[in-house]
Structure 1
Amino acid sequence: MRFLLRFPCILLFVCSSTFVTAQSDTLMANHECRIREGMPNSLQKLQAGQQVTIGYFGGSITEAGNGWREKSLNELQQRFPKASIKAINAAIGGTGSNLGVFRLKQHVLVHQPDLVFVEFAVNDSNTPTSVIHKSMEGIVRQIWRQNPKTDICFVYTLNEPMVPTLLAGNLPNSVVAMEQIAQHYGIPSIHMGLELIAKARQGEVVWKGVQADHPGKIVFSPDGTHPYSETGHTFYATAFARSLTKLMNVTKPVAHRLPKPFDAENWEAAKMVSLQDIARSQDWQVLSPETDSVAHQLRNRFTYLIKSSKPGASLTIHFTGNVLGVYDVVGPNCGQYTVSVDDQPDTDYPRFDSFATYYRSSFFFVPIDKAGKHTVTLRVSPKQLDKAAILKTRNKTIDNPAAYQENACYASQLLVVGDLAN
């Protein structure tokens, strides 16, 4: 049994496959690196000068150029100069583990990685603990179902809203939830921001600002979340290097085992399914990156993308399962979906928000009450969104009305835990 987790002077109890999370943010001491079972297989290959493929799986903090991802890769290349290292940037800004678990196969596992770094703590900040458990455990189990010799390491970054909790000596809720999964499976973890917290206690850190306005201080980021390369990301990379030294003490190859699930309803079966073969009305257009500007902008996100601006244009999905979502687009010319599930009342899903001054990949889940057979219909809504009012909530204005005039819906893939029916 691995449901009794031990930490210094602390006992953390699990009463069932569903974790009891009351006051869980006070139950774990902060440690920069928890070695657990380590990353022995990939480190052994690196030390032997072999070829190693590393997947970097996360949000915008991992996606960023000249950030911790590239800096950690440089560290590995310097320590293991004879090894051939292939890095996969499988990070998508603004997304968390609840999308990651669905896209893992297509974006990471297809590359047959030897090591996967998983970074979603910041983007999962407002995600319910139960969903983090399901998605993070689903990620782990998918990786080890494919190859039990693939190493996994959870990596935690931070943003300004997490700082009070960390200064109080506690871990943010998203990190607590991920640590519970890491402990259950023996996965190492690195909290790359704890040195910054130590310096913040000494009054040395400004979390959001411009360096020129704060001489003698460490200015972490321009916005409280996305670190400057020369400050926040450099601290992350230094923490990674310290942790790597500790992890190198465990290099005996192993086949990682899959114990009894932490949550019996985890999303190990999560998958992405193209909408290419899904029943739809005639008012949908298949977009090409060569001829459509939105498809071109998002060509690294979508291999297949459809669009309709016709009110009532529909997509109909028949499936058996308990989770269904849509991987789509949010942006200036987007409107909203009206979604019906079986005989339940319709629900509207706006595909425009206060950040929609540009196009980005996004997703949403439809409400499924319980596992079983379901029919879901998505329709382009005739309702007009007040885009100017939505943008005004972030003090943004519409500078080019023509770019916002359309009320389109886009779709690329379904997010499914279950199976589609014919």
Structure 2
Amino acid sequence: MKLKIISSLVLLAGMVTLLSTTLKAQTDTLDNLQEFNARKGLPNFFAKVKSGKAVSIAYLGGSITAAQGGWREQSLKWFQDQYPQAEIKHINAGVGGTGSDLGVFRVKNDVINFHPDLVFVEFAVNDGGLAPERIYQTMEGIVRQVWRADAKTDICFVYTLSGNMVPTLQAGKLWPSMLAMEHVALFYDIPSVKFGPEVISLIKDNRLIFQGKPEENLGKIVFSVDNVHPLAQTGHKIYTEVLTRSLKLIQNNTETFKHKLGKPYVADNWEEAQMISVKALTKTGDWQELTDADTVAKTFRSKFPCLIKSDNGGAAIKVRFKGRMAGIYDIMGPGSGQYSVVSDGGAPQLYTRFDKYGTYYHSNYFCLPMMPQGEHEVEFRVSTRPQDKMAILRKGNGIIGDLAKYNENSCYAGWLLLLGKLKN
């Protein structure tokens, strides 16, 4: 009996070693600068567009995707030029300064509800600081939501880059966010396009500098001014050229099929992520639902059909839900204050809604720490606690301007972010 137990333990150890080696080999295989991984391609989209039928393309990402005149609009024009017989529309689902951890909540409202035939997902830069485990959860959540809604919708991951990533790519390795996304792409046979190899090649040939002023670098390709956002005529053009030459390799693959959702890559993925309008939530205290007479509300109306605001200390949004996490998708800017959040009757936790970019209003979001799966009660209360806005602004480089605009300390809210389901 003792010999059998020892033999079993040796066999188990061997299996663990083999599994570990296999996983490491997979990681090593994915960690490369291969420009394009076709995998199962985009056959449903290409079959439809080549037949002359109307199609729509969704672009889900951050500011690099949202940029006017950038790779989104340039690639759309390429599609329209390639397939003039088809009516091709697009959905701009890019939101600056946000990653897949907001995208997974946004994807139903901003993408799925428009019934796209193809979805490009771009979060490599804004996910640059996220742990791989979180990226597995969010990116897989996006994929599973899209295919749960329509199994014939094709998806393509694209990996943009910022200046801090260049040394890693020059060493022949992927930035960790890209590598994490590649694991999800491989698991679901999703094609992926890496924009970095072409940029690195141009740098190596001394033809491109990543950051600079075009007027000071005549004869060179200046990729960006700020080390992140590509210039339309250079960086974005490179992105578009890489993407379109990759797409040409798979445009003749038109054997349609339905994407299958089997066992997930990570069991705790965020497939259940959703956004719920604050209009539907229980509110106490003095909250104002903003109309387009308010310049902030008018500016962000496309993102926030309902936007509420309060500077009344103690005013609260109360949420009862069954799930794992809650948060708020809101507005930050000169007149923003702080939320004091109480979860399950615990001690209040402050969430400041003012940052070094507070010289102007911009959409933002915050989520509470992950909770045990179950029933929870959360109150998002408007705090009256003061904050030193000037000290915060000194960390940035914006133009402060009129000091009076910083006197207000209001909380905005547009959407509840929820991993779970509301309870009455």
What TM-score range do you get, normalising by the shorter chain? Answer: over 0.9
Q: Deviations over 1:355-405 (max 9, x none)?
A: 111111111001233111111111111111111111111244532011111
Residue of structure 2 equivalent to 1:120: 123
Residue of structure 2 equivalent to 1:346: 348
| Correspondent of 1:320 among 319, 322, 344 | 322
Quick check: 318-327 or 243-252, which moved more? Answer: 243-252
Alignment CA distance shift 1:333-1:23 (3 Å): farther
Give, in whole Å, the separation in 1 of the partners of 2:23 and 2:351.
32
Give, in whole Å, the separation in 2 of the partners of 1:31 and 1:113.
28
Residue of structure 2 equivalent to 1:357: 359
| Correspondent of 1:71 among 74, 79, 91 | 74
Alignment CA distance shift 1:52-1:27 (3 Å): closer
Residue of structure 2 equivalent to 1:420: 422
Residue of structure 2 equivalent to 1:134: 137
Indicate conservation of the 8 Å contact 1:26/1:170, yes or no.
Answer: no
Q: CA deviation at 1:20?
A: 7.6
* Pairs within 5 Å for 1:110-259: 110-259=113-262
Residue of structure 2 equivalent to 1:368: 370
Residue of structure 1 equivalent to 2:404: 402
Indicate conservation of the 8 Å contact 1:325/1:416, yes or no.
Answer: yes
Residue of structure 1 equivalent to 2:299: 297
- 2:322 counterpart SS class: strand
Indicate conservation of the 8 Å contact 2:210/2:222, yes or no.
Answer: yes
Q: CA deviation at 1:277?
A: 2.5
Give, in whole Å, the separation in 2 of the partners of 1:29 and 1:398.
44
Q: CA deviation at 1:348?
A: 0.8
Q: Give TM-score, length-normalised by structure 1.
A: 0.93
* Pairs within 5 Å for 1:30-109: 30-109=33-112
Give, in whole Å, the separation in 1 of the partners of 2:175 and 2:382.
38
- 1:73 counterpart SS class: helix
Q: Which of structures 1 and 2 has the bigger CA Rg?
A: 2
Indicate conservation of the 8 Å contact 2:382/2:410, yes or no.
Answer: yes
Alignment CA distance shift 1:26-1:407 (3 Å): farther
Unaligned runs of 5+ in 1: 1-12
For these two proteins, the number of residue pairs brought into alignment is: 407
Give, in whole Å, the separation in 2 of the partners of 1:180 and 1:332.
40
Give, in whole Å, the separation in 2 of the partners of 1:141 and 1:369.
22
| Correspondent of 1:382 among 376, 380, 384 | 384
Q: CA deviation at 1:138?
A: 0.7
Indicate conservation of the 8 Å contact 1:25/1:176, yes or no.
Answer: no
Q: CA deviation at 1:121?
A: 0.7
Give, in whole Å, the separation in 1 of the partners of 2:390 and 2:329.
25
Give, in whole Å, the separation in 1 of the partners of 2:351 and 2:408.
16
Q: Which amino acid aligns with 2:417?
A: L
Give, in whole Å, the separation in 1 of the partners of 2:63 and 2:28.
25
Indicate conservation of the 8 Å contact 2:140/2:271, yes or no.
Answer: yes
- 1:212 counterpart SS class: helix
Q: CA deviation at 1:176?
A: 0.5
Give, in whole Å, the separation in 2 of the partners of 1:271 and 1:101.
8
Alignment CA distance shift 1:414-1:252 (3 Å): same
Q: Deviations over 1:136-188 (max 9, x none)?
A: 10111111111111100001111101111111100001100110000000000
Q: CA deviation at 1:282?
A: 2.6
Indicate conservation of the 8 Å contact 2:359/2:399, yes or no.
Answer: no
Q: Normalized per residue, which structure has more helix?
A: 2
Aligned residues: CA RMSD? 2.0
Q: Which amino acid aligns with 2:360?
A: Y
Q: Deviations over 1:41-86 (max 9, x none)?
A: 1001111111111111111111111110111111111111111101
Alignment CA distance shift 1:235-1:120 (3 Å): same
| Correspondent of 1:269 among 243, 267, 272 | 272
- 2:309 counterpart SS class: strand
Q: CA deviation at 1:239?
A: 0.3
Give, in whole Å, the separation in 1 of the partners of 2:226 and 2:334.
23
Indicate conservation of the 8 Å contact 2:279/2:306, yes or no.
Answer: yes
Give, in whole Å, the separation in 1 of the partners of 2:23 and 2:389.
41
| Correspondent of 1:391 among 375, 390, 393 | 393
Alignment CA distance shift 1:300-1:21 (3 Å): farther
Q: Percent identity?
A: 47
Alignment CA distance shift 1:378-1:419 (3 Å): same
Alignment CA distance shift 1:50-1:207 (3 Å): same
Q: CA deviation at 1:265?
A: 0.9
